[in-house]
Amino acid sequence: MTKSKKKHVIPQQSYLSDDLIIEEILTRLPVKSIIRFKSVSKQWYSTVSSSEFANAQLIKSPFPHPSAPIDTLFIKCGKNCYLFSCDDDEQICANSEDNLVKLDVDFGVGKYNLELTGCCNGLICLTQYYNEYFILLNPATRKLHQYESDGYLKRFDESKCPYVASGFGYASNVDDYKYVRILSEYGGNEKKPIVHIFSLRENRWREIDFDHNPLVVYRNAMLVNDKLYWHAVSIQDGDSVVSFDLGTERFDIITINCAEQDALGVMGGRLSTCSCTGDKLMNILEPPSILKSICLPKGFRLDMYSQMLGFTKADNFFVTNPLYDEGSGGATLGLLDTRTKPMQYTTLLRFDMLLKIAIYFPSLVSPFPIVEPLEA
């Protein structure tokens, strides 16, 4: 009797297509890892460098939602820029100096007078002091691009002491990043502000109408979802907040109790305001309704130059505080612990100049315009 021969079965090899690897695996990796994978092949380099891949990675990132816990802060102090890692509350207090990394960014000769305008989807917006140009920087890719004003400021009479307010954000309904500049006059007889918009998708400046009563808009904007918010004051309406929808490009006036010396911020993905007088209540707003109020520690001093940024994973939040009492002109970055009663403030870092800080998370979004310049 002959023995039956067993058939040798070759195991079927599993195979992942390049499309599946790119769309379902690479897009979920940290930005640093993705950048390293550019060297795998020319095809991967081209794919990972595309705007389509950057958008896909942005959508699948765990941090882009406005109410997500803070992971990293971008800090602008004088001519220096830093990233401050803050993904763990306990380590923040224990190793605050170790979590601070200075960025080696070359903005060009003499370009030290840059102000932090905002941060959106991994792009940092820095504005020249007189708004002659603005710069978009992606710290993760170390790429930046400068956008000139194209002579628009020459139409404004600087002798009347213009107030210049700026803002930067993303309009999701049109997939476009926009820089907004508002120039207004104040002298007892206000005129309607002049509004300039630069679109990265169109790669050009436009001027739009301000369809409300004359007022003065000042300071840089707070970005909440697809809207920018500024402080404003007028003879007719007093102090208020101006909002601008980046998608529809329409302004709105929000009548809330917000005095000139109060500080605007973004807390938990909502617009917030902190009163710098009296009982110092910080109101977290979803205009025009007050959602929550937090009483700051007794004697805790804040002013219009302070910033509130929150929240961490433990529901604590960051505060910057000028050092007026020490006469240094500097500022501190600290953490307010909401779990203690009264709340305790812990100083994390001290700087010799005033700070501007934005909530940051890395992305692959390009700071360059999407198309070539269009003719006006």
Last residue of a domain, one of 32, 57, 82: 57
Question: How many angstroms separate the CA atoms of 349 and 96, rounded?
Answer: 7
Is 375 part of a structural domain of the chain? no
Most confident of 57-61, 160-164, 261-265, 331-335: 331-335
pLDDT tens for each residue of 50-81? 888 888 888 887 766 667 788 899 999 988 99
Q: How confident is the model at residue 297 (pLDDT cuts 50, 70, 90)?
A: confident
CATH number of the domain to which 245 belongs: 2.120.10.30
Same domain for 267 and 299? yes
Last residue of a domain, one of 57, 75, 103: 57
Is 297 part of a structural domain of the chain? yes
Question: Token pair of 34, please?
Answer: 């993705």
Strand order in the sheet with 143-148: 114-120, 123-128, 133-138, 143-148
What pTM, to 2 d.p., does this model score?
Answer: 0.87
pLDDT tens for each residue of 269-278? 888 877 766 5
Q: Is 204 helix (H, G, I), strand (E, B) or coil?
A: strand
Amino acid of residue 344: Q
pLDDT attached to residue 346: 85
Same domain for 176 and 305? yes
Amino acid of residue 352: D
Same domain for 51 and 142? no
Backbone angles phi, psi at 13, to 5 degrees: -80, 135
Is 9 part of a structural domain of the chain? no
CA atoms within 13 A on the CB side of 295: 7
Q: Is 311 helix (H, G, I), strand (E, B) or coil?
A: coil
Range of the domain at 125: 61-360
Same domain for 166 and 296? yes
Residue 207 has pLDDT above 80, yes or no: yes
Is 8 part of a structural domain of the chain? no
Same domain for 190 and 241? yes
pLDDT cut 70: percent of the chain above it: 78
Same domain for 135 and 217? yes
* Between residues 97 and 117, the one the model is more confident about: 117
Same domain for 43 and 165? no
pLDDT attached to residue 376: 41
Identify the CA nearest to 147 among candidates 197, 190, 112, 186.
Answer: 197
Same domain for 290 and 192? yes
pLDDT attached to residue 14: 60
Same domain for 94 and 214? yes
Same domain for 200 and 314? yes
CA atoms within 13 A on the CB side of 317: 21
Mean pLDDT of the residues in the chain: 81
- Domains in the chain, number: 2
CB 328 within 8 A of CB 352: yes
Q: How confident is the model at residue 24 (pLDDT cuts 50, 70, 90)?
A: confident
Same domain for 49 and 185? no
Same domain for 148 and 194? yes
Is 370 part of a structural domain of the chain? no
Is 67 part of a structural domain of the chain? yes
User: Could you tell me the sign of the dihedral formed by the alpha carbons of 153, 156, 158, 162, in that order?
Assistant: negative
Is 334 part of a structural domain of the chain? yes
Is 243 part of a structural domain of the chain? yes
Cβ-based burial of 355 (10 A; exposed 0-12, middle 13-18, buried ≥19): buried
Backbone angles phi, psi at 295, to 5 degrees: -90, 120
Question: What is the rounded average pLDDT of the residues 85-98?
Answer: 74
Residue 257 has pLDDT above 70, yes or no: no
